[in-house]
Structure 1
Amino acid sequence: MNAVSLVVQAGLVAKGVLLILLSFSLMSWTLIFMKFRIFRRGHQESARFLQIFRSAKNLSAVFEESKRFAKSPIVSVFQEGYQELSRLVKGNQGPANQWPAAHESKAAAADMPIYQEPLELVSRTLQYARMKEVAQQERNLIFLATTGNVAPFVGLFGTVWGIMDAFSSIGQAGSANLGAVAPGVAEALITTAAGLGAAIPAVIAYNYFLNRVRRQATEMELFGLEFLTLAERILARSR
């Protein structure tokens, strides 16, 4: 008796359980492939953007280039920070015109108390953008966690029902021979396997993507610090 025969010969309850588990599995795999593509493209575009950002001499040109990397979470943080920084230096020699040299950092540090409040605004903007991106990346991951937690219990329900059916068959047949208990036990085993088959990939994928989210959150935080250093110099020059 193969798996297909077990499913065809299963009772109505077992088929309902299998249908639910199949739905969980299909939605999980769809989400897994979708998230994998999003994370892979975001990582590639972030790497390309950082090369441009660290080698550029004109911040406004970097902003224009950043529009080509819409899937990068770091780009979203940069754009929010750039727009806030541009508003703060509006009417002066803004970030779109000059990129301060590294040797000017000491002079900027001397003026830091004067620009502490504007710099705090930029910092809050970067933090908001980073939190928004993390929330976006975590979107729908809860479904994978739910599948990993719920699917085994749904399969267990089918298992219990199959065992109950096996005992019912024993009572009807008046004998505990293999022919009487085999159908119920088979239903129990197939639903158990289906529950694990839906849960295991979901749990693995959830842990993997959660780790990717944390890694990208760290990368965005490091970029935010890098951008704040640059913003401090620009605000010092725009006095």
Structure 2
Amino acid sequence: MAAMQHILMIEDDARLAQMVGEYLERSGFRVTHAIDAKAGLALLQEPGPAGRTDLVLLDLMLPDMDGLEVCRRVRALPGELGSVPVLMLTAKGDPMDRIVGLEIGADDYLPKPFEPRELLARIRAILRRRGGEGTPPAAKVMRFGTLEIDRDARMVSVMEQPCDLTSYQFDLLVALAERAGRVLTRDQIMEAVRGRELEAFDRSIDVHMGRIRAAIEADPKNPKRILTVRGVGYVFAKQQD
């Protein structure tokens, strides 16, 4: 399984940082919070137990240093540290701040207040453009006991027997398998397969899950692979067969 991507959030608003951090963690990221520029730059250069940083979420207005200066200092760091993606957040409405931020190397810019979903979409878009820097390449074939999921061929088999899934159901299964052991809400599952044409209602996910279970479970009425977490969503079991 690929390691969780690590976001370093440099933000002096503790309440906002907690809200955003919790949302990003529920969306599959690992988040470290720094309350000011000094702490953030130190964490970036000496990650310690936090691990390598895949993206910096940077507030423009910090108590000890302007966010633009922080971005300049990040870009001046040697090697991979200096190329870490930076997404700037600000309450300022001046378009010049955005222009300057982008000119000195920020990857994107999001004004406050913002919708958490938009922030998440922008983070994921940056990481996709960067080619997934900071995470190992995804395995072409995922294996869970007798279940095999071939990403390139877009085929699923159990005990070497092919399973009949639609393209959309294949994408849903991959989204769950990539996050094996994590409970996902229906919204999170739909977000994970964004870019596909999605049905409007959450319950459509339940119908598809039933069909996926019929294809991959030995006993769809007593599933061992895709489990329902009542009131929350679904989880793909890590240990199978």
**Higher helix residue share:** 1
The structure, 1 or 2, with the larger RCO (C-alpha pairs under 8 Å, 6+ apart) is: 1
Pick the structure with greater CA Rg: 1
TM above 0.5: no
